[in-house]
Amino acid sequence: MGKIKKALITGITGQDGSYLSEFLLKKKYQVYGLVRRIALEDETHRLWRIKHLLNKLKLSSASLESYASIVKIIQKIKPDEIYHLGAQSYVAYSFEDEFSTLNTNINGTHYILSAIKDFSPKTRFYFAGSSEMFGKVNKNRQDEKTRFNPRSAYGISKVAGFELTKNYREAYNIFACTGILFNHESPRRGFEFVTRKITSSVAKIKLGNQKKLFLGNISAKRDWGHSKDYVKAMWLMLQQKKPSDFVIGTGKMHSVKDFAKLAFSLVGLDYKKYVKFNKALLRPAEVDTLRANYNKAKKILKWKPTINFNQLVREMVNSDLKSFK
């Protein structure tokens, strides 16, 4: 039997962290997670996405804002792979507090890379990049060569993380990759993101517990895939001979309006009767459209999405109906 591989996941309590944990456990990895101290004190609320896995995971508390706390864990575990998913990930919030978004997202990434370089240089590193790095686009589809033009502190923090990852790869020979992932959702998506806001509202409206759904820019278009598909792509990137960056998406684009229309129609309701506009939900700088060209991932990683838009919306609506009943 081969050596048991060790993976460390930051952001293990989040949507992707939970699916990635399941995926790696199935592959017989020993999975370690870095969580905030407060999460260990409030398991019911803060560890809900991984509560079914807790007896299989090894969690340590650390802060992405503290180099010392990260070094200790990396030095001790010397993981084969690190998946750095921990981040302030809500774009709208990054307009309210650019400082914490930039601090957590840029410094957190820098600290981990630096700790790998000095204490565990054989560790392979995955950085959670984002289509928000492309921002305002002037190309129909975005690939690895598309120019970055971020529109938020969040997007800027991810461009900085991308550049740090590239520099540690080039300057220090670290096996470091960025996955430039387009929007991906699931029944475990946070309630503040538009897809989950819609599906949870659809369920509550259907059950008579909510009357209206207030949204901002429903003309915005995104390339929406399923988190379960995307965590596989993260793992594939770290199994290659050479480190590289990859765009991951579905190549299909829908508007927020399309999403709402379908979600309401699945429970027999007409979205026009319930969706209302709230100006306060508009962003100071919007990203209007995003659509992936994932040909490189298809060719090199042999990756492609397996869950389409309709299946995704249906799974989210059904799951919310079940849980709100």
* Site for ligand F7E, rule CB under 6 A: 89, 91-92, 130-132, 182-183, 192-195, 197, 215-218, 220, 222, 256, 281, 283, 286-287
Nearer to ligand NAP, 251 or 267 (CB): 251
The listed partner (ligand F7E, ligand NAP, none) that binds 16, CB under 5 to 8 Å by sort, is ligand NAP
Active site residue 90: no
The listed partner (ligand F7E, ligand NAP, none) that binds 13, CB under 5 to 8 Å by sort, is ligand NAP
296 touching ligand NAP, by CB under 6 A: no
Residues 36-75 that bind ligand NAP (CB under 6 A): 36, 39, 46, 63-64
Give which of 308, 128, 325, 43 is closest to 209, Cα–Cα.
Answer: 325
Choosing from 19, 32, 154, 271, the catalytic residue is: 154
> Phi, psi (5° rounding) for residue 226?
-105, 135
Nearer to ligand F7E, 41 or 192 (CB): 192
The listed partner (ligand F7E, ligand NAP, none) that binds 222, CB under 5 to 8 Å by sort, is ligand F7E
Q: How far is CA 296 from the centre of its chain?
A: 20
List of residues 6+ apart from 18 with CB closer than 8 A? 12, 49, 50, 53, 188
Question: How many other C-beta atoms can be found within 10 angstroms of the C-beta atom of residue 200?
Answer: 23
Angle at 177 between CA 175 and CA 180, to 5 degrees: 180
Active site residue 131: no
Binding mask 71-110 for ligand NAP (x = CB under 6 A): --------------xxxxx--------------x------
CA distances from 242 to 80, 173, 230 (A): 15, 11, 20
Angle at 140 between CA 156 and CA 313, to 5 degrees: 80
Closest distance between ligand NAP and the C-beta of residue 95, in Å?
Answer: 15
Closest distance between ligand F7E and the C-beta of residue 10, in Å?
Answer: 14
Choosing from 131, 132, 157, 230, the catalytic residue is: 132
130 touching ligand NAP, by CB under 6 A: yes
Closest distance between ligand NAP and the C-beta of residue 19, in Å?
Answer: 8
* Beta bridge partner(s), residue 84: 10, 127
Q: What is the DSSP string of 129-140?
A: EEGGGT-S--SS
Nearer to ligand F7E, 123 or 146 (CB): 146
The answer to whether 250 touches 309, Cβ cutoff 8 Å, is yes
The listed partner (ligand F7E, ligand NAP, none) that binds 21, CB under 5 to 8 Å by sort, is none
Can you tell me the distance from the alpha carbon of 121 to that of 319, in angstroms, rounded to the nearest whole number? Answer: 42
Nearer to ligand F7E, 23 or 93 (CB): 93
The answer to whether 151 touches 92, Cβ cutoff 8 Å, is no
Closest distance between ligand F7E and the C-beta of residue 309, in Å?
Answer: 14
Tokens for 117, please give them: 């370089």
Between the two ends of the chain, the Cα-to-Cα distance in Å is 47
The listed partner (ligand NAP, ligand F7E, none) that binds 283, CB under 5 to 8 Å by sort, is ligand F7E
- The four Cα atoms 83, 151, 93, 8 give a dihedral, to 10 degrees, of 0
Residues 249-288 that bind ligand NAP (CB under 6 A): none
Active site residue 130: yes
Q: Which residues in this chain contact ligand NAP in the complex, by CB under 6 A?
A: 11, 13-17, 36, 39, 46, 63-64, 85-89, 104, 128, 130, 181, 183-184, 190
Residues that are catalytic: 130, 132, 154
